[in-house]
Structure 1
């Protein structure tokens, strides 16, 4: 009896090992990523324009590419961009977005690629959205990789892109390229683009509807169909979307079968992924999408920035620097804040005047202070600020005030903002401290209040804000005083904003 039982156990073990795919049950996401990385390097030993998704997947998963691999890609891209004189395509503007995403992923500056600024190509809103919703998706993603700002003359803005994407959401809660029924790929891509703004009430509601659609579109084993075909890419896009929202697909009850479906497309023979299960070998496009999905998921588990947040690859200086902006204002040559003014102008925070002056001792208005900070932190608003005295300003400025209001940066106690009034040192201190809280997710609570002799009668909020400036060496005061009621000059603003950005961008 004991012998028969032993034989039964051995046979059962053999059967189980035969029917259970090794790829699905034993391969980790880290191991799978390693094989897809090798697959892509083998496929593109001399990467060039057109291999952007390979580059994105390899760079974001931190695959150990051959020495000089990314430099080779960049050199080939520069040659191509120069050969077409910066015009990648006259209709498909996702070409620009895709290349911007790839370049920022390897720490290269897309604002100067062989002398051409690819980011500015996204300035024309009508051209950006001509392809459909995906044009808006990838433009928003591209702009957010390094927090790029478009010229003032641009018709494309982040707010227009967000509202365009929200407006394209179908009645069933999903997105499609041209149809009226939710497609899992397009819905997942929309969520990826909107994920940076998920704290906005309108965006959050839209994302939640999209997640409900994706939950309901799943097959019993976590599979998805797009254009009538059960395929790998749809599953990959959904996992990537979840990772962009900081959701672990394996741990979320709505989506915990996704990886089971995902790994059924894995082809152990060549280390890639199939598009459909009937394919005999791995598919290049399916593998690149699977690879950047694995990169996105592994980054989530490791607590790193999300797939398209390239802030971790942004150098202190552009990797291919444009000619330096010459700052030669005739009224700052001997000014104490000359270096701070030059730094602020180089960062695009402040500008000079047409007569080649900076006017460093002019006061900074409240609306100017808000606009500088909103642009520096890339803030956007979903509604209107409740102030009765801003109607004469243009829509962009009103949106900046609304963004600052929604981010709780403003120190106001009435329904008037007084936009043209000079801003005091106390007010700017509170605004910067609130911006620090918004940026980091936690307020700065000092151990001791700054040793200024003129702040004891201020509110606790103001005292802590001024201490924040003191402790982080954003502003130091003079002769033991902070002078909280004094107005901020353009020179002092330059110094404070530059020092503040050093703190929050570290």
Structure 2
């Protein structure tokens, strides 16, 4: 009691309290750091700049891997669509594709298929993405077959899904069908109703009986254009599908088909949520701390995607992965949606970036040449090794790599 009234003891208590508070604050900071570390290790957050870097690398790699873009579901339209929607594609590359496609169209006299009308849808989307008119390509109207509603759906639900996407890609007016066609004529309303009518009770869609993540995500992409429209049945259908996709997500953030985790299923879901501008960290699509983006990037390595984890380069996986990353990037940067192609090819954004890199590369090349000249003079006067530092060597290597990356522009 005396010590408490002494004054000196009271100061001691205050000091002790201060020390205790400092220790407590440090402990809380340590605990917070532990929580943050757990979150990062569970699912790394990926910046817009990093996504841009991935896309640029893939764009360059694809034009190196696929020298001759052709008509076809692999090394053809999807490759072109991805490149055009990101914007990193040369006019020469586009010309090669158009030339190869025209040869095929003429050889088939405009009849790409009598059974799979997604062939027409895919080509219409590709031509639209490169600012070409699919209603008069080499004298052929490749949109016209999509007016034949019965034929569009011969192959299953994906017929209507991609016909709807193709028609919406540039808000095309559906032409009159061939005069010899006697079936039902396509309308946007019929396509929407057909898709919704074929939705399974669990919220998914399928080509057979059991709902599949891929086809469900594709249906969501097609219906996304009308999600906020006057037809409330669209929103109801899409919301039901999103619940299905949320339930099907794996702990790594990815998706499976027939029990096998794969790139393509994951890519389609990323395209679906990007079409609706759903935040990548929306709790419905985060499992065990992993987003759909985390799940997709598990299949990525050096500008390429594999079908399954740790697999080799797969053409289809790379094309779908590229399209998905581009769709996400466009959503992130508030650009037109992946299939909303009224904006055409975004050459300007990429051209500016390439120009800046070229200037940087040119500047570094000039510096490197100066260093080399100085080194040669120094070598003549001395018997010692080159005076070029390790840093200069790294710089020279970087210049070579940068120059290589510019070749596709």
TM-score bracket relative to the smaller structure: 0.5 to 0.7
Contact 2:44 2:294 (C-alpha < 8 Å) held by counterparts? no
Instruction: State the 1:151 CA deviation.
Output: 3.1
Instruction: State the 1:52 CA deviation.
Output: 0.2
Contact 1:81 1:88 (C-alpha < 8 Å) held by counterparts? yes
Contact 1:60 1:307 (C-alpha < 8 Å) held by counterparts? yes
The answer on 1:61 being equivalent to 2:95 is no
2:297 alignment counterpart: 263
The answer on 1:272 being equivalent to 2:284 is no
Deviations 1:259-306 (A, max 9, x none): 2211111123xx201110141x22111010010111111111111110
- TM-score normalised by length of structure 1: 0.55
Of the candidates 175, 178, 189, which is equivalent to residue 208 of structure 2?
Answer: 178
The answer on 1:82 being equivalent to 2:82 is no
1:339 alignment counterpart: none
Q: Structure 2 CA distance, aligned partners of 1:23 and 1:43? A: 29
1:253 alignment counterpart: 283
2:361 alignment counterpart: none
Contact 2:220 2:238 (C-alpha < 8 Å) held by counterparts? yes
Larger RCO of the pair (alpha carbons < 8 Å, separation 6+): 2
Instruction: State the 1:120 CA deviation.
Output: 0.6
Q: Structure 1 CA distance, aligned partners of 2:187 and 2:61? A: 38
* More displaced 10-residue stretch of structure 1: 96-105 or 28-37: 28-37
The higher radius of gyration belongs to 2
Q: Structure 2 CA distance, aligned partners of 1:193 and 1:136? A: 9
Give me the CA root mean square deviation: 2.3
Contact 2:85 2:326 (C-alpha < 8 Å) held by counterparts? yes
Of the candidates 164, 170, 173, which is equivalent to residue 194 of structure 2?
Answer: 164
Aligned to 2:165, what secondary structure does the other structure show?
A: helix
Q: Which has the higher helix share?
A: 2
Aligned to 2:250, what secondary structure does the other structure show?
A: coil
Of the candidates 151, 155, 161, which is equivalent to residue 127 of structure 1?
Answer: 151
Aligned to 1:216, what secondary structure does the other structure show?
A: helix
Aligned to 2:284, what secondary structure does the other structure show?
A: coil
Aligned to 2:215, what secondary structure does the other structure show?
A: helix
1:101 alignment counterpart: 125
Q: Structure 2 CA distance, aligned partners of 1:185 and 1:233? A: 8
Contact 2:43 2:294 (C-alpha < 8 Å) held by counterparts? no
Instruction: State the 1:313 CA deviation.
Output: 2.0
Instruction: State the 1:248 CA deviation.
Output: 2.5
Deviations 1:428-485 (A, max 9, x none): xxxxxxxxxxxxxxxxxxxxxxxxxxxxxxxxxxxxxxxxxxxxxxxxxxxxxxxxxx
Contact 2:144 2:176 (C-alpha < 8 Å) held by counterparts? no
1:190-229 equivalences in 2 (<5 Å): 190-199=219-228, 200-229=231-260
Contact 1:33 1:291 (C-alpha < 8 Å) held by counterparts? yes
Deviations 1:212-242 (A, max 9, x none): 0000011122121112211111111111001
Instruction: Count how many residue pairs are aligned between Structure 1 and Structure 2.
Output: 291
2:324 alignment counterpart: 293
Instruction: State the 1:43 CA deviation.
Output: 2.1
Instruction: State the 1:164 CA deviation.
Output: 0.4
Contact 1:299 1:305 (C-alpha < 8 Å) held by counterparts? yes
1:303 alignment counterpart: 334
Aligned to 1:159, what secondary structure does the other structure show?
A: helix
1:143 alignment counterpart: 167
